[in-house]
Structure formats: structure tokens, C-alpha cells
Structure 1
Amino acid sequence: MPTTARMTQAQITSAVCTTYAQVGVRLVLIDEIHRLNPHTSTGAESADLLKDLTERIGATFVYAGIDVTRSKLFSGVRGAQLAGRASLIDFGAFPARLGKQEPFKELIALMEQALDLTQHQAGSLVRLASYLHQRTAGKIGSLARLIRQAALDAIMDGSERITKTSLEAIQLDHLAEEHDRPRTSHPTRKRPSRVTAQPSRP
């Protein structure tokens, strides 16, 4: 999209909208929306821009953030305008079971397929699905951090495999550890430590 240093905000917005229409954009994802504070000057400009874009682009806008209803995102005049264009969808922890499906186990299987450890036994993490769900409180971010750190440790110590013992030695984020604490104190650990707003289409 061609731009020049002399373009005004309105001209840039128009160029963006024209480009989106030309290429047929149908979905716009904006993460970390809880960081937007409409009560600051830059936040107000961003909120106004989002309002303009949702009115001029024929696409579904999905805003992803944490505890957005408790942030300043939907407060004040500009916040009310965003709230008036959004349907709130609360996302909790990833379920271990959903009817006959086991989505958390399927997620673990996909992550395990991406591991490049020479001595790791395929399927061993899937068999630890119940433990991993308890350990991470069903949070995808905590699970990803746990497996990533275990893989790094396996590379560094030369074992090239992830076991329950090596997973136990890793300390996770505070929320996951607080959830897991009633089950066990994990004396062997050695390391210190969506809600989604979906505006309706214009």
C-alpha cells in the first residue's frame, strides 16, 4: 500500500480501507486489546480509528484480550462506542473433555509432533494429558511454556527426551502454580519462577 510522509490520518485510513476492500479482507484480528485505554490521547485516537475501520470495512473484527470487562476498554464515551459494536465471548480454560472429544489431548499431540528431540518417545506426552491439564489449569499458554522449557532442558542436558520427572522440575507461571499447589508442593522444582470481544459487522 503506497504511502507518503505528507499523508494525513484521514488519507491513510482511506488507503487502508480501499486496500482491504480490493483484496477482499473478511476477518481482522486484533490482539492485546486490553491494553487500549480510550481515556488517553493515543488510546482515544486508536479507539476512533477502530470505530472508523469497523464502519468502513466489510469484515468481522475480533478483539482478543484479558479481562476486558475489568479494563478501561469499554468505559467512557469512546469505550461505550466500542462496546456497542461488540459481542462479548468469554473463554475459560481449555477443556479436557468436550462430549466425546478430548481437545486438550489433541492439542498436546500437535505440540508433541513439533518436537525435534532425537530420544523422545512419541505419544509419551499424550499419555500424560491428565497430569498436564491439572498442572497447567488447562491454559494453552502455560502448556506451551511447560513443553518448550522441558524441550530446551532436554537439549541442554543431552537427554533429548521429555519425561514426567523433567516436567516436574519446571516451575510455571504464577497462575498455573497457584492452581496446581493444592495437589502437590513439587519439592523437586528448581527454577524460580480470551476474553474475546467480537464486534458485529457494520
Structure 2
Amino acid sequence: MNDPTAALLPTLGDLDWVPAVGRPDLLADPVAAVLTAWAGVDDRAATSVAVAEIDPDHADTATLNTVHGLPPEASANCVVVAGRRGEVERVAACVVPATTAADVNTRVRKLLDVRKASFLPMERATRETGMEYGGITPLGLPAGWRVLVDERFRAPGSLALMGSGLRRSKVLMPGPLLCELPGVEVVADLGVVRG
């Protein structure tokens, strides 16, 4: 008998996509926890969020796209940025298409309302997220961090291929669904096209 949810599950390239909620072993613990909780209140977490195992040596966006025939415009890069306003630190995860770069010095800095914004050091980002470098994703981030998502992912039919919290797998979901995640702020021109 065919699984009725299989028709809803997004696929891309030649990777073997399966429902993410059914493979917590392919997700970092915070990612698995948030997807499980989300699936309890929204069926789309179970039917529209996929995960695929990859070779960790292929986790880099350009390599993954080349090896598996993935369109660069579907890849979503997630970078963590921080700045201070007085004694208060403000942290945000910025999700932009891989064909762009997060506009940290102008757009993100203004959104955080800080004098200077910079990338969070790798060691701190991995420690605080509970995720591996190269696999950080907007799913399951620490409370208090803002999640800024480029509005390009809101386009009908768009997909968001992103980290799973681990370097050995990737998550895939419809872009509009990413934009609807609790706490997400959709931002115009968050990413600037690479020169």
C-alpha cells in the first residue's frame, strides 16, 4: 500500500529523501526535538519536511550541489550573527539563498539595532546550538535568538535545502513553510546577490 504522505514530501536531486520526523538519527537533538513538537500541532512537519543522508565530505553547498544535481537557488545558508547594544548582546540566525550572501554590515546590523554586527565564532555557535559546523539550521535554535529568513523563500514552489544540525544529512522543506515557522521574521533583501 502506498504511503499517502509520500506525495507531499519534497524531493530534489538524486538524494534519498524520507520524512524527517521518522529519522531522528539524521537530525541534531535540538532539530529532532523541535520537529517532533511541531508535528504534534501541524501535520506539515511530518508530511512536508524531508531529510536525506549525505557524505559529510559533501556538506559544503557547492560540492553537494555538484555531486547530487541540486539547483543552487534551493540551497539555504544559515549564518549566525551577533552585535551589542549597550550591555545587551543581540543574536540572529540569518537564512539566505546560497546564491546570495547575508547583508551583515547593513541590513542585519540595522535589524539588530547594533553599531556593529559580526559572525558568531564557530566554537560558540556550535556549542550554543548543539549543532555541527556546516550543519547549523534555523530549526531548534536557542530561545532568544532571532530567526531572519530572506523573503525569496516565500515564493510559491520554492524549496529550502538546509542543514539538519549534522554534517551527514540535509533537510528539505517548502520555502513558504520555512517562512511560517514560529518566530521567523521574513525580511526583504536579507541576502545580497554575490558579485
TM-score by length of 2: 0.25
Give the structure with the larger helix fraction. Answer: 1
TM-score by length of 1: 0.24
Give the structure with the larger strand fraction. Answer: 2
